[in-house]
Chains A and B, each alone.
Chain A
Amino acid sequence: MTPFPDLAEHKDIKWHIKAPHAPASIKPWSDQLILEVDSLARFLLQHKISKEYPEIVALGFWARKANLLKMLPGQARFKEAKKTPAVFHVGPANVDTVFFYSFLLSVLAGNQNIVRVSNRSGALVYQLIDLLQGFFYQYANSEFEQLISIIEYPATSTGVTVTLSEWANMRVIWGGDNSIDAINHIAPHANQLTFPDRYSIALMQIEDAEQIPQAVEAMVKDLLPFRQQACSSPKAIVWWNTSEQLQNAFFLQLNQVLANKENGFDMRDQVEQFVDCQRMVITHKPAVKTIEHNHITCLDLDKLLPDYFDIHTGHGLLLNIRVDTLDSLPYADKLQTIAVFNIPDAMQNELMTNHYVKRVTSLGKALSFQHIWDGVDLCEAFGQLTC
């Protein structure tokens, strides 16, 4: 077992959850672990608080046994470590629940985990911590409980970051370029998974008006969570083989649906949309065809370059272009997900094989967590740790 890090000298830390004792070696993806994570899933889904947070429902749904088994890595890949490998996770303050998925995968791999949450964390983080505490209270002495600790401390306490980084066999940093730079500066780590800034787009084809409601529903699903600010939220629509009339009809319906959503884009977002558009034309001077301000803002451009996404802050702005060929997409290292609607399989394959796109998924599922994230197979990465 790996001894627990000694943080006694640090005053400004708060343990939300602290593993009762350092675990003995735990078998990765054991029936017991899968069962326990499945119990957590049921606990989350049954809890009344979940009704207020669709993000928690999605997490619970994902963590069910039936879904976990789909991710089960080939047993041969696992070396059974003599000691329990230690993983230090740094989550972003504006939580994307995504880091919760990654540490669950690390738990399933039998690693001991410490998750750092920021003191600027939003309500959802604390809600999840509360739920986890409630779960451990009900299911005391689980294997799971030995593998998870959650700590909160300010980034200025660099000593804590150093100690936890030294303790860990692997470090995982969510939160984009700025966070990665800042943490690497405090304490470099030889073995780490980082999730830098990314942007995502939608590639769509609408052939007749009957397809529009389905397309709108799927787009809303990908657009609204995290106010379009997640790395997988589509920031632009690339139209293929779709008449201008159908594009307009799509936006009309999209705005109508958003107008009736309780948690739709509001005045705060609309101000950001407007500011983003002006910022965009001053900075990148794109050729603007039209601009339509509504519940979302649609900025119709002649072409779409990767740089444009630096300016895009989410909040319901959709850049819009038409292409004849897949060569005109804004490919770049920072392009993460292409969410497709009614795009032939052959073209989807072409995106992956010829253009090396990290992730192609159906529109409406852009934000569903997949264990292969940003091109990294997390099950494999967490499973190969030795110490």
Chain B
Amino acid sequence: MDEEMKQYMDDMAVFEEKYEELLESPVYHFLQPEKERILLPLLSILHKHHSFRSQAYRLVDKLFKWDDSKALCNYPYLAVRLFKEFELKSISDDQVYKVLHSSGTTGQSSKIYLDKETAQLQTKVLTRILQHWLGKSRRPMLLIDSPHTVKKTGGMTARAAGLQGLSFFGRSHTYALDANMNLDIDKVSNFFEQFKGQSVLLFGFTFMVWHSFIQQLQKHNIYFELQDSILIHGGGWKKLQKASVSHQTFKQQIQTQLGDVRVHDYYGMVEQTGTIYMECEQGFFHCPVWSDIAIRNPVDLSFLPFQQVGLIQLTSVLARSYPGHCILTEDLGYIVGEDDCSCGLKGKYFKVSGRVPNAEVRGCSDTFS
């Protein structure tokens, strides 16, 4: 055990050193082979760390036959749903600094245990990613949500964490919705009036941006003439798909109501908070330097080639306090290519096409309801 512990401490020391370097690396600069060369040793140590600290990860590891260090996405991966059912952490209880919850409205929510270090890392990395898109200046910021979302006590939801995390990148924060999630038209008009001619930042969850903001403006025939502004939105298209709103309609309608606004979707999940996948102007999500994506065939879990739709697997070297460095999501998507997106960013870029529908529940066992 002492030997093992010593080896572990040595590994972690190496890790810290390389890590510092990586955190300062440019976000979308490395070609895929170079990126893998940088990430692999880190991931290998992270794998040992979680095997050492998390019994659940150690047990799940036994389900995989794999050879170390062949490829980034070859490391054992936890099913993302397990974070809803088990307390998965690689730290002791007294090291828990913050618990993040997914904001899922149905069923259980994921619980992600952060120590102070991991929480800081996540903030740092989110900052690095967003600065790439927003620059360092802080713009006046309109949040398409209610101030009450953040104020709610109890565990922190992913939505609140998102609002709080993003707030850092703006100033003069104004919430567009009231406590009942209705659009406060006067407040929004005043905001745009006050910062007329300036570049502003808008942020909100995709469905709310559409339903509570853009559609309301449309209904009341209200138009603004923003200039050189940016809207960042995320949280998924499921509800909009149901309402048959396409990405194109979404963008067009925003520009019709608001004027000159660049629109960026992002993909991300509470299990890998901090690592967000921003959409470039070509409409593709890009992996930042700290993470990678692979697509697996749902039938036999083998890797699928580019352009083929399958389960999205995410790898991130940021998950340290919980074994979320490799996760298999229930989202469907495909890799469009690597290193050659016409937007100029390097690494893999991808599209998300939906989510695996819930499996059919049948059979004899049931709840009386």
Residue positions of A touching B, CB distance < 8 A: 90, 92-96, 98, 118, 120, 122, 154-156, 174-179, 182-183, 195, 197-198, 226-227, 229-231, 233, 267-272, 274-275, 277-279, 281-282, 285, 288, 290-291, 293-295, 314-315
Task: Tell me whether B364 and A92 are in contact (CB under 8 A).
Answer: yes
Contact call A179/B368, Cβ cutoff below 8 A: yes
For A295, the chain B residues whose CB sits under 8 A away are 299
Give Cα distance in the complex from A229 to B366, angstroms.
10
- Assess whether A93 is in contact with B63, with CB atoms less than 8 Å apart: no
Nearest Cβ distance between residue B356 and chain A, in whole angstroms?
Answer: 5
- Cβ of B361: which chain A residues have Cβ within 8 Å of it? 94, 229
A274–B329 Cα distance when bound, in Å, is 11
The answer to whether A94 and B366 touch across the interface, beta carbons within 8 angstroms, is yes
Interface contact B63-A197, CB-CB below 8 Å: no
From A154, A275, A288, name the one whose CB has the most chain B CB atoms within 10 angstroms: A275
- Taking beta carbons and an 8 Å cutoff, which residues of B are in contact with A? 56, 59-60, 62-63, 65, 78-79, 81-82, 85-86, 298-301, 311, 328, 330, 356-369
User: Across the interface, which residues of B come within 8 angstroms of A195, CB to CB?
Assistant: 364
- Nearest residue, chain B, Cβ from A181: B368
Report if A229-B79 is in contact (Cβ < 8 Å); known contacts: A271-B356, A281-B60, A293-B299: no
Q: How far is the CB of A9 from chain B (nearest CB, A)?
A: 22
- Give bound CA distance, A154 to B298, whole Å: 37
CB distance from B89 to the nearest CB of A (A): 13
A122 touches B362 (CB 8 A): yes
**Alpha-carbon distance between A182 and B366 when the two chains are bound, in angstroms:** 11
Flag if B362 contacts A229 (CB, 8 Å): yes
Task: Let me know if B366 and A93 touch, CB within 8 A.
Answer: yes
**Given A268-B356, A278-B60, A285-B59: A176 and B82 interface contact (C-beta under 8 Å):** no
Instruction: Please give the distance in Å from A332's CB to the nearest CB on chain B.
Output: 16
Asked whether, in the complex, the Cβ of A271 is within 8 Å of the Cβ of B330, the reply is: yes
When A272-B359, A274-B328, A282-B60 are in contact, do A155 and B368 touch as well, CB less than 8 Å?
yes
* Bound-complex Cα distance A278 to B328 (A): 12
- In the bound complex, residues from chain B placing their C-beta under 8 Å from that of A285 are 59
With A275-B81, A275-B82 as known contacts, state yes or no: A178 contacts B59, CB within 8 Å.
Answer: no
List residues of chain A with CB within 8 A of the CB of B328: 274
Bound-state Cα–Cα, A8 to B89, Å: 55
Task: Provide the residues of chain A in CB contact with B299, threshold 8 Å.
Answer: 267, 270, 293-295
Closest beta carbon of chain A to B261's beta carbon, Å: 37
The 6 closest A-B CB pairs, nearest first, are A229-B363, A176-B365, A92-B366, A175-B366, A179-B368, A268-B359
Cross-interface CB contact of A177 among B59, B85, B86, B365, cutoff 8 Å: B365
The chain B residue with its CB closest to the CB of A276 is B79
Cβ of B82: which chain A residues have Cβ within 8 Å of it? 275, 278-279, 282
Given A174-B364, A278-B79 in contact, is the A268-B369 Cβ separation under 8 Å?
A: no
- Please state if B368 and A231 are interface contacts (CB–CB under 8 Å): no
- CB of B359 within 8 A of CB of A315, answer yes
Query: Can you list 30 A-B pairs, Cβ within 8 angstroms, ordered by A?
Result: A94-B361, A94-B362, A94-B366, A96-B363, A96-B364, A120-B369, A122-B362, A175-B368, A176-B364, A176-B366, A177-B365, A178-B367, A182-B367, A197-B365, A226-B362, A227-B359, A230-B363, A268-B356, A268-B357, A269-B359, A274-B79, A274-B301, A275-B82, A278-B63, A279-B85, A281-B59, A282-B59, A282-B82, A282-B86, A314-B362
Contact A227 B362 (CB under 8 A): yes
By beta carbon, the residue of chain B nearest A176 is B365
Q: Given that A278-B60, A278-B82, A281-B60 are contacting pairs, would A314 and B369 also be in contact in the complex, using a CB cutoff of 8 Å?
A: no
* Complex Cα spacing A293 to B81, Å: 18
Q: In the complex where A267-B298, A275-B81, A282-B60 touch, is A183 in contact with B368 (Cβ < 8 A)?
A: yes
Give chain B nearest CB distance to A198 CB in angstroms.
Answer: 7
Chain B residue numbers with a CB within 8 Å of A277 are: 63
Please, which residue of chain B has its CB at the minimum distance from the CB of A282? B56
Please indicate the chain B residues that have their CB under 8 angstroms from the CB of A290 in the complex.
Answer: 65
| Apart from A226-B364, A230-B364, A271-B79, 4 more pairs, CB < 8 Å | A94-B361, A195-B364, A197-B364, A270-B298
Q: Of the candidates B301, B360, B362, which one forms a contact with A268 in the assembled complex, judged by CB atoms under 8 Å apart? A: B360
Contacting residues, chain B, for A155 (C-beta < 8 A): 368-369
Contact B367–A198 (Cβ < 8 Å): no
Closest CB-CB distance, A290 to chain B, in whole Å?
Answer: 8
Residues of chain B within 8 A of A179, CB atoms compared = 366-368
Among A154, A177, A267, A279, contact of B369 (Cβ-Cβ < 8 Å): A154
B14 smallest CB distance to A (angstroms): 29
B359, A271: Cβ atoms under 8 Å? yes
- Residue numbers in A under 8 Å from B62 (CB-CB): 281, 288
